Structure 1
Amino acid sequence: MRKLSFFLSVYCLVLLVITSLQAGEMKIAIVDMQKALNLSKAGKAAKARLDKKFAKIKRDLEQRQQELDKLKEELRKQSLMLSLEAQRDKEKEYERKLRDFRDLYQDYKEEMEREQYEAVRPIFQDIQEIAEKIRKKEGYSIVFDKNTSGVVCYSPAIDITEKVIKLYDKEWSNKEKK
């Protein structure tokens, strides 16, 4: 499926290039959306907010993991001294707490993924708008995302990532001041 998608992308690109060459000169640009997200002021601010929140979640999970480890160690140490019934009760308690921990871990993981998506989505949209402004202003026929377009190699001269970051940071700073 990936090969088919890749070949269709290449085929469409070839058709686009041929058509554009017949119509006149075609200008192509590349933007690294992930790099623009990571290096932009808005992206760094979003990452800092998420890191702070995720650190709390990580501490909570680590504390619960330590409690589980302690309970397991107690169970191991007391196993010879406990009656069979008491040992089963302790094992059931441990299994219940382990199951609760795994459920909590999954809930936290889903929450973190959702929050990361919600934090990053508007930034990606803004970056796309900036790339479109640059495309129009500088007369590019097409702008590819370096990471998703299937482009294998290109000249650094057509990479507009730094322009996108600078313009986005400028616009984002102006929004923040208002």
Structure 2
Amino acid sequence: MKFSTLSVIAVALMSVAQFAAAESRIGFVNSDRLMREAAPALRAQERLEKEFAKRDQELQRMAKDLKGLQEELERNGATMAESERRGKERALTDLNRDFQRKQREFREDLNQRRNEELASVLDKANRTVKQIAEAEKYDIIFQEAVYASPSIDITDKVIKALSDVK
């Protein structure tokens, strides 16, 4: 008796779940595309490039100086006086250490700023997705999926809505 009652309840629940799924409105947003194409993401990328351009140029200059000094040592090291060669090698070592330190600091600072900008863009995108979901009465919107039918993909709507967000 208990088994049949449980079976009836299970069948009823499955039927309700199927009915609810048939009536549900589902959407999908491709977050990778948002981060590549949405206006706030593009503006954030421009800000980062502008903010770090000077330091990047300095690192490129240092790399060029390192290469030049190393080539000079390889080319003329055998004919240089011992003290001159040791001085150049010490200068190369010091410059290389300084370069690596600045390069590491650059990467750390860039990653930190990129994460800050990314968080800001994701916050704007999530607010926009929520607004679209509420306005168009979506029950659920996924951001990650192995596959999503183009019929439920609302990424273009979100990108368009984000173009109006400052």
Q: TM-score, normalised by structure 2?
A: 0.79
Larger radius of gyration: 2
- What is the 5 A alignment of 1:92-111? 92-111=90-109
- Of residues 35, 59, 67, the one that matches 2:65 is 67
Aligned to 1:153: 147
Aligned to 2:11: none
Matches of 2:15 and 2:113, distance apart in 1: 43
Matches of 1:58 and 1:18, distance apart in 2: 61
Query: One-letter code of the match for 2:18?
Result: L
> Structure 1 residues 22, 109: closer, same or farther in 2, change over 3 A?
same
CA contact (8 A) 1:29 1:160 kept: yes
> Structure 1 residues 156, 90: closer, same or farther in 2, change over 3 A?
same
Matches of 1:21 and 1:125, distance apart in 2: 33
Matches of 1:66 and 1:141, distance apart in 2: 56
> Structure 1 residues 84, 33: closer, same or farther in 2, change over 3 A?
same
* 1:82 shift after superposition: 2.8
CA contact (8 A) 1:127 1:168 kept: yes
Query: One-letter code of the match for 1:53?
Result: E
Query: One-letter code of the match for 1:159?
Result: D
* 1:23 shift after superposition: 4.2
CA RMSD across the alignment: 2.3
- Of residues 40, 43, 67, the one that matches 1:45 is 43
Aligned to 2:18: 21
Query: One-letter code of the match for 2:80?
Result: L
CA contact (8 A) 1:20 1:26 kept: no
Aligned to 1:113: 111
Query: One-letter code of the match for 1:158?
Result: I
Aligned to 1:35: 33
Matches of 1:84 and 1:19, distance apart in 2: 88
**How many pairs are equivalent?**
152
Question: Could you list the runs of 5+ residues in structure 2 that have no partner in the other structure?
Answer: 1-13
Q: Deviations over 1:34-88 (max 9, x none)?
A: 3223322222222222222333232111110111112112222332233334423
Matches of 1:45 and 1:139, distance apart in 2: 30
* 1:19 shift after superposition: 7.5
Query: One-letter code of the match for 1:97?
Result: L
Q: Percent identity?
A: 27
Question: Could you list the runs of 5+ residues in structure 1 that have no partner in the other structure?
Answer: 1-16
> Structure 1 residues 65, 164: closer, same or farther in 2, change over 3 A?
same
1:169 aligns with 2:159: no
Q: Deviations over 1:133-177 (max 9, x none)?
A: 1122222221111xxx3x22221010011111222222x1xxx5x
